[in-house]
Amino acid sequence: MRTYFECLSCFVNQALGSLKNCDADDDQIKSVMRSVLCELAEIDYSATPPVTAQKIHRLVSKAVGARDPYASQKQRYNLFATELLTTMQKTVDLQQDTLAAKVKLAIAANIIDFGKNNNLTENEVQSCFEKAMGVTLDSSALENFREIILEANSILFLCDNAGEIVFDRFLIEEMPYRKITCVVRGKPVINDATLEDAQAVGLTEIVKVIPNGSDAPGTIPEDCSSEFKQLFDNADLIIAKGQGNFETLSGITNKRIFFLFQVKCPVIARDAGYPVGSFVVKDNRSQGDGGVTEYPQSIRMEMKNG
């Protein structure tokens, strides 16, 4: 996916949000935001958004030092998601198709994205989960997903955000997890999950988890470690969570990739071809609209305007 003009405001908001989370003073904010605007003046619109976002967040990191701007939020949402899972487990137990239910919840958890919404609240997350179980998954996409995870000998699961990773684990437990390797970011960026988050939620207790060696809020293979590249090249199936991974990997056609994410902005909606608010289960080798799940119109408008 390329970068669109509408992405510019998102880059600015991400930088400003990170600086405020670090309690940067006015002089720091002025200095960094000047640098951000200079970077955006030379933006490569043919590159994926996470390529530019990586540069923007490196400017923030350089200014504030080793601090992780979203450290407290990540810890908070790992705990909140763990508590929420206790409630949602009871709902899943009542479902005939537990895989479908867990896919819904894993996609619902993708709302925990401070790159899109720096002011996200627990009430908004709770509301999203309450509505998610009413979403109807595309049966063809789900069956393709179900079949390929059984057929594949090696699966690479690309995680996205802290908090969300709790429900990634919940989904993985429903899968043949002994052949799964999970991947997290190599360094902190926005609220993306790192190895520390994977350990905090117990994901490392059931599968091998590796950092990808990169600080991009997506997966840029050429920027990742040799270990990641080898696993990526050899995997029979790649499951990619979140918009950032869709943005960076949607152009790859020589690997079997299933994307699981929420459409949270009009730019992604236009590029991916699904309405804002959609839950997407997308096979990169399939043609047409298979794999989209949607909220009712009223809920889509609520998310779009919220």
pLDDT average, residue stretch 68-78? 95
As a whole number of angstroms, the distance between CA 158 and CA 204 comes to 14
- Kindly state the percentage of the chain with pLDDT values over 90: 83
As a whole number of angstroms, the distance between CA 282 and CA 280 comes to 6
Provide the pLDDT for residue 272.
Answer: 87
Provide the pLDDT for residue 141.
Answer: 86
Provide the pLDDT for residue 293.
Answer: 44
3-state SS, residue 151 = helix
Element (H, E) at 209: strand 208-211
Q: Rg of the chain over CA atoms, in angstroms?
A: 18
Provide the pLDDT for residue 289.
Answer: 45
pLDDT band per the 50, 70, 90 thresholds, residue 136: confident
pLDDT average, residue stretch 215-241? 97
pLDDT in tens, 31-57: 999 999 999 999 999 999 999 999 999
pLDDT band per the 50, 70, 90 thresholds, residue 287: low
pLDDT average, residue stretch 240-262? 95
Provide the pLDDT for residue 305.
Answer: 41
For tokens 């926005």, name the residue: 190
Helix orientation angle between 98-108 and 139-151, rounded to the nearest 10 degrees: 100
pLDDT average, residue stretch 187-211? 97
Provide the pLDDT for residue 101.
Answer: 96
pLDDT band per the 50, 70, 90 thresholds, residue 121: very high
- Kindly state the percentage of the chain with pLDDT values over 70: 93
7-11, 214-218, 279-283, 294-298: which range is least confident on average?
A: 294-298
Helix orientation angle between 164-172 and 71-93, rounded to the nearest 10 degrees: 40
pLDDT band per the 50, 70, 90 thresholds, residue 66: confident
**Model confidence at 153: pLDDT above 70:** yes
**Model confidence at 297: pLDDT above 70:** no
As a whole number of angstroms, the distance between CA 210 and CA 159 comes to 11
Provide the pLDDT for residue 74.
Answer: 97
Give the strand pairing for 180-184 and 208-211: parallel
pLDDT band per the 50, 70, 90 thresholds, residue 138: confident
Q: Classify burial at 31, counting beta carbons within 10 Å of its beta carbon; exposed 0-12, middle 13-18, buried 19 or more.
A: middle
Q: Are 259 and 245 in contact (CB under 8 A)?
A: yes
Q: CA nearest 242: which of 72, 77, 95, 115?
A: 115
pLDDT average, residue stretch 179-191? 97
pTM passes above 0.85: yes
Buried b (16+ CB within 10 A) or exposed e, 74-112: beebbebbbebbeebeeebeeeeeebbbbbbbbbbbbbb
